[in-house]
Each structure stands twice: as C-alpha cells, then as structure tokens.
Structure 1
Amino acid sequence: MNGGTLRQLEYFVAAVETGTVSAAAVRCQASQAAVSAALNDLERALGMQLLVRRPAKGVTVTGGGQSVLPIARRMLADAAELADLAAAEHGEVAGRLRIACTIALSPRVLPLLAALLTVRYPRVELDVTDGLATDVQEWARAGVADACLLYRRQLGEGLDARTVCVVEPYAVLAADHPLADRDDLALEELSGEQLIIVRAAESSRVIEALMEDAGVVPHAGWAFSNPETVRAMVAHGLGYSVFSGRPSGTEAFDGRRVAYVRVRDRVAPNEVVLAVPRGQRPNARLDALWKLLGEPELQAAFG
C-alpha cells in the first residue's frame, strides 16, 4: 500500500489507544523495537510526524496524527471486513472483536460471555474492557470498541442500540433487614432509610427517574464509584440501594450478605442494550455476539 502498510497503521492506532509504544507492542503481539521501527517507517512514508514519543511518558498525537487516525481506523475496519467475507465463504467467524461494558454489568456478564465466545468462535480475537457508561459509549463512538453493553437509560447520542433484555428494579437490603424475606416491596416502605447509590451521573439519573416514577422522595445518603462498595455498605445495614436486575451473588467482599427484593411500584423497567456507532456496517463477529447475548445462560446473567 502506498503511504504505509496495514501493519504500520495497526501499530499507529494501537499506540494512540494504549498511550505507549510498549503497550502497543503487547496488544499487537510484536516486539517494541518492531513497533517503533514501523512507526518511523510510516511517518517517513507519509512525510509527516504522527506521534511525539517521550521516554517514560508515552506518546502524544500530533495534529497530523489526529487527521490520520480516523482514516487509519477506517482502513483497518475495511481490511477486517474483507477478512470477514473470506472467512464467511468457509462458514467461519474470525477477526478482532472489541467489547466495552459498564462496570455495573461487567462482573455479571463478561466472564460468561468471554467463555462462551472463545469456545463457540475460536478464531475470534476477543478484547473486553469495562468502564463508566460515558466511557464505554465514547470508546464506541471513537472506534476504540466495536460495541458496548449498557442500560438504555444511560444511552447517549450517536449510537444505535438493540435491546438485549428487559430488567426489573430490585431493592438491595442487608440480609437481616426486616423486609429482606419479602417477595416484593414498595419503595415508600424504605423512604425513611438512607439510599446508597453509585456516584456516576448516568447511574444516579436512573435511580432518580425510578424514584420519581414511584412518587418517592428518598433520604439521600452516600454515593460511591464502585457498585461493590455500595453493596458492601448495604450488607452492613447502613442503608439500602436499588439495582437494575438481580445479580446472582448475594455475598459482599467481607462475607456479609445482601438480599434482593423486587420493587412492585409501577415504574418503567430498564433495558440492557448492545450499542454500536451509528451507521456502522454489520459484520459476522457482531452477528455472532448478538446471537450469544440471546442465549439463556447470558440472559439469566443480566438478572
């Protein structure tokens, strides 16, 4: 290819996304020297500096590099699509699949999804990560992730989403809470207790909307970045929380337990969605992912 090879473009994109040449080498399963030499060759071929490389400080993308980056990603995506077409001729699903998932869902879903996908589609190179809802959506928009999993009520602009499953809200209580053995409850019954939530803006908005639907003004309490911290605080009897869906585990990190009680208020249920950048072309890997998400095992994992 005139102006740089696909391998050089792959190294360039990896260096930008990981922040260092060494991390790009690990991702691309190449030596650091090979990646560094390929980046030099790419810059010479294009006649422009793409990256500023500082020892122990990683890489910074130049203005020219910012212009080249989306083109490089498109070219790599087109090359992957060609590989998909060739593999499809032999009834195979192959290539790289990058999935980002919110931290509220990732412990429930990613281990099982990764295990099933690697067995069913061994030629797929799976890359999974998690983060806040804003993060995973930005990764998808920027082309860093092929798809992201999140709740519909967290969904922003620029993405097309399909519903994976509908999830009902559950109150999270300490295992010895007086209401813990109930099949369901009204949120008004907990209004005098402290509500502990996940701090992220998207998560807090979901809870606020749910409380508004139920006509309840909660006694606002602490907020934490990690959902597991929320669950641990609840397990100690320091308040309650509300989760979308019911995780399978009831034990907090210190061994104390929580109980999940269905919320019976007439509130709009939430949905888990698979979101991709608007206008993204379908491919065999995303089709395989969509089919796996419909499997009973994974549907149960969402709660």
Structure 2
Amino acid sequence: MFKSVSIRQLEYIRHVANIGSITQTAQLINISPSSIREAITAAETELGVRLFFRTPAKGVSLTTEGQRFLLLAEPLFEAKAQFEHQVAGIAKQNEQELTIGVIGNVGAMVVPELIKNLSETVPFSRFNIVELESSNLVESVRTGKLIAGFGLNDFLHPSLKFVELFPTQVHIAVNAAHSLAQKAELELSEMANEPFIFPNFGGASSYYSGLFDHHNIRPNTRYMVNSTEMARRLIEEGLGYSTFNARPSIHRHNPEPMIKRIPLKTDYWSPTFGMFYLLSSTFSNALNNIEKAARATWRQSK
C-alpha cells in the first residue's frame, strides 16, 4: 500500500516536474530543497522505481514511470481542490449568500418569481445570480462555483442530480396584434413566409434548426439575435415571430402584454426544465429550500 508520501509531498513532486529544477521549485513555493528531495526519495523508495532523470546541467525530468505516477495522482489533486472549495463554501453558507445560475436565454423570465418565493422561505441576505449558456452552467455547478443551476436537461453530467420542474413546450411568439394571435395552436407551415427572428445562442440555435428541418421547412430568417430579450423586443415591435421553449411564470398581471405565445403543433422532442446540483454538495439545507421554492413557483405557473 502506498502510504509514506503525503498529498503535500505529491504536490512538491508535481511542481518539480513542471519546473524542471528542485532549486527553483524550492524558491517558488518557499520550501527547502531538502524537503523536496525527501518527498522524491520517499516516493521512489516506496515504488521501487525512479521518477526523475537527474542531470547537473539540465536539472530534472520525468521518467516514463514518473509520468505515469503523476497521471495516476491527478484525481487526488482534483479531489483536494474540490474539498478545499467546498470547505470554503461553508463560510459562505453561514453568511447566507445564495449563488445560483440559470441559462441566460430564460433567466429574466424564471428567476424573479423563484427568488420571491425563496425570500419568503429563507431570509438570505444576498442573492448572486449568474446567467450562462447551458454547457457553461453545467460546468460551473459541477466544479462547485455555483450551488445550483436552473436549465434544461440536455447537457447534464453524471455527477449532478436533476430535479424536473416542468416539461418545456415549443411555442410560437407573435405580436399580440398579429392575425394569427388568437389561434389555439399553430403549425410551422402557417409561419413559413413570415419574418423569422432566429435565436442564435447556446443550444437554442441547433435545437430550432433541427425543429425546422424536422418539418421540412426553411424559415424566412430576417433577424438573428443572441438573446431572448432581444427577440421579445423585436416581436413587440411587430417585426416578426420567434420560437421559444421555456415560458414565463404566471404573474398577477400579463408580463408580456404585446406578445402572444401560441403552442406549436409538433411531434419534435422538447427538453425538460429543472434544477440541478452536485450529488456530493454540502449545501443540503440550502438546496432543500431552493427546491421547495422552485416547485412552488412552477406549481403556480401550470
């Protein structure tokens, strides 16, 4: 069993491998050269192989065994970094700061009602809300930069738990004065010649391209926008229509008086919107409160 070398000593060895000099490494991390040599000697003795080639003129370089040794040690370094981050997060939790992320194209629609319900449940002193694209949002939650994320289930990672909140439904968004605004549902063929406002951001662009391909329709793309907010503004001005998945929560007043959202008649797949967080998260109490607030929010919006 390999047990005579600490993680700190493993880090010394990794520093030496990166720098190529024991002396320079010692100066950089403010450790005596003898401590670094002891770490290397202990590891080589335990393994029975040499980790470094040593040449007076060129310093040190990893042997084949040394390269494999450090490769095997990488999960330990990653686990240590994650542990330190989560321990630091305990202090943040005590400060009652809530840091969550949401996919940028729906953040303005879904976050306000969620925060309102959460504020009534737990008196967090500060909310830190980050808007990201789907893949970046998942990565930020996976690496512990965010306590939780709200988005679609199309970029999930095995280390995350996904809590389904509501299935999304593809719908057409048109100006409220549009001749088709009062229809109960629409087909893409009815909009084929209308000016299309293409949502060119994150996973939306590939999703809606696939939607039109699925129906063998080429949209009359007049505008390409990089945010849902811009698409809504253009619709309000009567410049065209767009396609959306997520819907705003139901407020006491109409949040989009100039826009009518009409379900699209389609058999094309739709992702699910929900909350996700690390299975190994230490913020269990905060996550329970967030989940309760989220479920309350979208029960109201059904």
Q: TM-score range by the shorter chain?
A: 0.5 to 0.7
C-alpha displacement of 1:280: 4.2
Q: Report the more deviating stretch, 181-190 or 282-291.
A: 282-291
Do the aligned partners of 2:96 and 2:126 also contact (CA within 8 Å) in 1?
yes
Does residue 250 (structure 1) correspond to residue 256 (structure 2)? The answer is yes
C-alpha displacement of 1:190: 0.6
C-alpha displacement of 1:239: 1.9
Compared CA separation, residues 237 and 211, structure 1 to 2 (3 A): same
Percent identity, aligned pairs only? Answer: 17
Amino acid at match of 2:119: T
Q: Distance in 1 between the 2:225 and 2:268 partners? A: 24
Q: Distance in 1 between the 2:124 and 2:241 partners? A: 44
Q: Distance in 1 between the 2:204 and 2:299 partners? A: 21
Aligned position for 2:83: 74
Q: Distance in 2 between the 1:197 and 1:150 partners? A: 20
Do the aligned partners of 1:193 and 1:239 also contact (CA within 8 Å) in 2?
yes
Aligned positions of 1:278-297 closer than 5 A: 279-280=280-281, 283-295=284-296, 297=297
Q: Distance in 2 between the 1:127 and 1:246 partners? A: 23
Q: Distance in 2 between the 1:282 and 1:135 partners? A: 21
C-alpha displacement of 1:156: 4.5
Amino acid at match of 1:227: T
Compared CA separation, residues 183 and 101, structure 1 to 2 (3 A): same
Amino acid at match of 1:271: T
Does residue 187 (structure 1) correspond to residue 188 (structure 2)? The answer is yes
Q: Distance in 2 between the 1:239 and 1:123 partners? A: 41
Q: Report the more deviating stretch, 207-216 or 100-109.
A: 207-216
RMSD: 3.3
TM-score (norm 2): 0.63
Aligned position for 1:33: none
Aligned position for 2:174: 173
Q: Distance in 2 between the 1:80 and 1:95 partners? A: 11
Aligned positions of 1:125-140 closer than 5 A: 126-140=127-141
Amino acid at match of 1:206: Y
Q: Distance in 2 between the 1:72 and 1:175 partners? A: 52
- 3-state SS, counterpart of residue 136 of structure 2: helix
Q: Report the more deviating stretch, 94-103 or 237-246.
A: 94-103
TM-score (norm 1): 0.63
Q: Give CA-to-partner distance per residue, 1:101-126, whole Å, 9 cap, x none.
A: 11222112222222222221125754
Q: Distance in 2 between the 1:165 and 1:279 partners? A: 24
Q: Distance in 2 between the 1:245 and 1:300 partners? A: 15
Compared CA separation, residues 221 and 300, structure 1 to 2 (3 A): farther
Compared CA separation, residues 81 and 201, structure 1 to 2 (3 A): closer
Amino acid at match of 2:185: D
Instruction: Specify the structure having the higher radius of gyration (Cα).
Output: 2
Amino acid at match of 1:170: H
- 3-state SS, counterpart of residue 98 of structure 2: strand
Compared CA separation, residues 111 and 125, structure 1 to 2 (3 A): same
Do the aligned partners of 1:187 and 1:216 also contact (CA within 8 Å) in 2?
yes
Q: Distance in 2 between the 1:83 and 1:156 partners? A: 26
Do the aligned partners of 1:213 and 1:266 also contact (CA within 8 Å) in 2?
no
Aligned position for 2:202: 201
Aligned position for 1:43: none
Compared CA separation, residues 68 and 47, structure 1 to 2 (3 A): farther
- 3-state SS, counterpart of residue 100 of structure 1: strand
Compared CA separation, residues 246 and 221, structure 1 to 2 (3 A): same
Aligned residues: 225
Which consecutive residues of structure 1, in runs of 5 or more, have no partner in the other structure? 1-45, 49-66, 88-93, 252-256
C-alpha displacement of 1:279: 4.9
C-alpha displacement of 1:186: 0.9
Amino acid at match of 1:77: Q
Q: Give CA-to-partner distance per residue, 1:165-190, whole Å, 9 cap, x none.
A: 11211101122211011111111111
Q: Distance in 2 between the 1:300 and 1:130 partners? A: 23
C-alpha displacement of 1:215: 4.3
Q: Give CA-to-partner distance per residue, 1:45-103, whole Å, 9 cap, x none.
A: x748xxxxxxxxxxxxxxxxxx989745523524656998xx9xxxxxx8443210112
Q: Give CA-to-partner distance per residue, 1:227-263, whole Å, 9 cap, x none.
A: 1111121222322111113335224xxxxx2211111
Does residue 228 (structure 1) correspond to residue 229 (structure 2)? The answer is yes
Q: Distance in 1 between the 2:88 and 2:177 partners? A: 57
